[in-house]
Amino acid sequence: MLRIAVPNKGSLSEAASQLLREAGYKQRRDPRELVLVDARNEVEFFFLRPRDVAVYVGSGTVHAGITGRDLLLDSGTPATEHLELGFGGSTFRYAAPAASVTTVEDIAGKRVATSYPRLVKHHLKSFGVDATVVRLDGAVESSVRLGVADVVADVVSTGTTLKAAGLEIFGEPILKSEAILIKGPDVSESEIAVLTGRLRGVLMARQFVLVDYDVPDDRLDEAVAVTPGFEAPTVTPLHGKNWHAVRVMVPRSEMNQIMDRLYAAGARAILTTELLAVRV
């Protein structure tokens, strides 16, 4: 049975379970459940602390897991990134009280508070900067005000937490993170091919919509040029009319612009439909 680790709390937990649910897997109803067997899909889910997911996957006791790229890199385990999951996006950045520290080089000799010590030490080393890394469990932004650090290195999403703590980001992002599927060092692609295919299918169904339209034969090429699809659109003649019907996938984010352009190209009865799941 395939063993998959899922964050049991925190920012990634709900979205990870929702993604798995949409991919046809059973997910827990009670947030206190730690293990769940999905016998029909031959998968066992382990709900673990987000930070521990990479530890289990890296040690080989669990085949695959969902975590953040920042957590994977900080873990130092041999688990590897397999698939970007399109949620839990954040950047990992340095911040300090305005004007006190403005470049990575300025951190030399100072104290940096973080929950990601390995990641930060590695980054400082790559810049040749010698500094003291203070490891904290969370609420890192308070460390400067409370006098245990001069600089913080932490996850930034909206920036609200930093602002409230009177800190400003400086330097380039240390890392761009998002939720990812990771796999163990000895797990082959084929072992997790069904899981990967299903997750890709859900991500694709979220990113694309299906567009149907009718178009006069003499403007078919013009309309098809607007919606080339992946391979080629499905084009079917309409009965008793010099028109064709076209069915094609288009990016959800461009859906309305594409519908406008299709209308201008003579297409009519333009319909957009949500996709539930996709296999490509």
Ligand X SMILES: O=P(O)(O)OC[C@H]1O[C@H](OP(=O)(O)OP(=O)(O)O)[C@H](O)[C@@H]1O
Regarding 249 and contact with ligand X (CB under 6 A), the answer is: no
- CB of residue 83 to ligand X, shortest distance in Å: 23
- CB of residue 152 to ligand X, shortest distance in Å: 9
Regarding 156 and contact with ligand X (CB under 6 A), the answer is: yes
Which 160-199 positions form the footprint of ligand X (CB under 6 A)?
160-161
Which 146-185 positions form the footprint of ligand ATP (CB under 6 A)?
155, 157, 177
Name residues whose C-beta falls within 8 Å of residue 236's C-beta, 6 or more positions apart in sequence.
Answer: 244, 245, 246, 247
**Angular region, 42: left φ>0, alpha ψ -120 to 50, beta rest:** left
Quick one: 141 or 214, whose CB is closer to ligand ATP? 141
- Per CB under 6 A, the list member of 36, 133, 155, 249 interacting with ligand X is 155
Helix (H, G, I), strand (E, B) or coil at 197: helix
d(CA 99, CA 170): 9
Regarding 268 and contact with ligand ATP (CB under 6 A), the answer is: no
Regarding 68 and contact with ligand ATP (CB under 6 A), the answer is: yes
- Per CB under 6 A, the list member of 128, 138, 147, 240 interacting with ligand X is 138
Quick one: 19 or 249, whose CB is closer to ligand ATP? 19
Regarding 157 and contact with ligand X (CB under 6 A), the answer is: yes
Regarding 75 and contact with ligand ATP (CB under 6 A), the answer is: no
Q: Are strands 243-251 and 234-237 parallel, antiparallel or unpaired?
A: antiparallel
- Angle (CA) 39-194-86 rounded to 5° is 110
- Closest of 32, 62, 152, 61 to residue 100, by C-alpha: 152
d(CA 19, CA 26): 11
- Per CB under 6 A, the list member of 29, 40, 128, 138 interacting with ligand ATP is 138
Would you call 280 exposed, middle or buried from its count of C-beta atoms within 10 A (0-12, 13-18, 19+)?
exposed
Residues within the interface to ligand X (CB under 6 A): 10-11, 138-141, 154-161
